[in-house]
């Protein structure tokens, strides 16, 4: 019997956040990767990106302060930091494909020995399986 205890979502997010350096442009994928934002230090300039066309995401809004025009790719409400912007998702993918994002944090069902990932389904009721931006983010 092994003594392995799996990490919690928060433990994984905290560990990932420690590797993000000052000045990086970072895409946080849908689902668990968004938790990384909760563990980023306040004293570093880190620019959070979402492939639906947002750069400069801030913390989750407080209850009652949600803005239906400000959501991330996972359809979660977000805020914008001073200087943040939103734009067409085509421009967002141009940023990704053009190598203008320093780091992306993706979730995956499985990761093969060679690094191939399987992450195309969120498992939410009524959702259809969809690859979304993962292919572009993994390559870009």
pLDDT the model gives residue 22: 95
> pTM here?
0.82
pLDDT the model gives residue 27: 92
pLDDT the model gives residue 119: 67
Q: Which two tokens stand for residue 135?
A: 């292919």
Tokens 């994002």 found at: 101
Catalytic-residue membership of 22: no
pLDDT the model gives residue 60: 84
Cα(20)–Cα(17) distance, integer angstroms: 5
pLDDT the model gives residue 121: 63
Catalytic residue among 11, 22, 51, 113: 51
Cα(29)–Cα(11) distance, integer angstroms: 17
Domains annotated for the chain, with CATH where assigned, are 9-139 (3.40.1080.10)
Q: Which two tokens stand for residue 90?
A: 């085509």
Cα(63)–Cα(36) distance, integer angstroms: 20
pLDDT along the chain (140 residues), means of 10: 86 94 92 89 92 90 93 89 91 90 84 78 66 68
pLDDT the model gives residue 130: 62
């Amino acid at each position: 019997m092994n003594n392995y205890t799996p990490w919690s979502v928060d433990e994984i997010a905290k560990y990932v956040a420690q590797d993000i350096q000052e000045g990086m442009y970072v895409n946080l994928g849908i689902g668990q990767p968004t938790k990384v934002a909760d563990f980023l230090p306040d004293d570093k300039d880190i620019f959070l990106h979402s492939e639906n066309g947002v750069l400069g995401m801030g913390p989750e809004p407080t209850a009652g302060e949600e803005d239906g025009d400000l959501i991330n790719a996972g359809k979660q409400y977000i805020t914008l930091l001073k200087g943040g912007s939103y734009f067409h998702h085509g421009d967002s993918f141009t940023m990704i494909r053009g190598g203008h994002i320093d780091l992306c944090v993706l979730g995956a069902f499985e990761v093969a020995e060679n690094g191939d990932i399987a992450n195309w389904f969120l498992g939410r009721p009524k959702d259809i399986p969809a690859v979304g931006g993962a292919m572009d983010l993994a390559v870009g």
